Amino acid sequence: MKKIIILVVTLIIVLLHFDTKAYTAKRIDLRTKEDETSIVFLKQKDNISLLVDREKSSKLFLIKLENKEELKDSLEIFNVNPNISFLKDSLGYNDDIYISKDDYITMKIDDYNLCIVKNKAEVMNCDFVYLLELDKEFEVDEKILTVFYDENINDEYLGLINESWIDSHIVSTEGFTILKLNSEGYNILIVPLAKR
């Protein structure tokens, strides 16, 4: 009996500390609270964008747009009507998100830096990295908390990420990857697309 109780307590502790969750849904309510920011990595066949949602506002940063209907369908899943702009045209302050561009784009959101990288092997001062494309192996910085990478990136360029203790998640057309930030830390949710 004592072994069963220890096993149950251990399972509860493990489940409470597991911060990657998986769901399937046709509608997704981000339920962003006052001190939270949700960032949805929207990867579609013809579009790439980031939906930044807060309690009172949402903003869609377009990285690549070739099919407006496809994008509209995804936004309906989240039931949002965001302000929309191209990321490359949004440098400086955009509401309370600061966007800068050197060799890669950095979005300062709350106390975190999300760096969006295209064909660059290393980054500095990034908490989260979104790799759009790579043409050489990505250098890992110990300050990086999580790397998100496009499903089309060649595995040979991800070797150092896979060998490190850094969390990594694929951003694919098969679902949505959601990063939720708050003052206590972050959570990552992977939501597969529901079959229509």
* Contacts of residue 64, Cβ cutoff 8 Å, sequence gap at least 6: 46, 47, 48, 49
pLDDT tens figures, 27-78: 777 777 778 889 999 998 889 999 998 877 888 988 888 888 888 888 888 8
Residue 69 — φ and ψ, nearest 5°? -65, -40
* Contacts of residue 93, Cβ cutoff 8 Å, sequence gap at least 6: 99
DSSP state for residue 171 in the 8-state scheme: E
Residue 100 above 90 pLDDT?
A: no
Give the Cα separation of 136 and 119 in Å (integer): 7
Residue 91 above 90 pLDDT?
A: no
Residue 195 above 70 pLDDT?
A: no
Q: How confident is the model at residue 20 (pLDDT cuts 50, 70, 90)?
A: very low
**Single-letter amino acid code for the residue at 22:** A
**What are the angstrom distances between the C-alpha of 34 and each of 31, 56, 117?**
10, 8, 29
- Angle (CA) 157 160 161, round 5°: 90
pLDDT score, position 161 = 76
pLDDT score, position 163 = 76
pLDDT tens figures, 162-187: 777 788 888 998 889 999 998 888 99
pLDDT tens figures, 101-156: 766 888 888 889 898 888 776 788 889 988 888 887 777 777 888 889 888 888 87
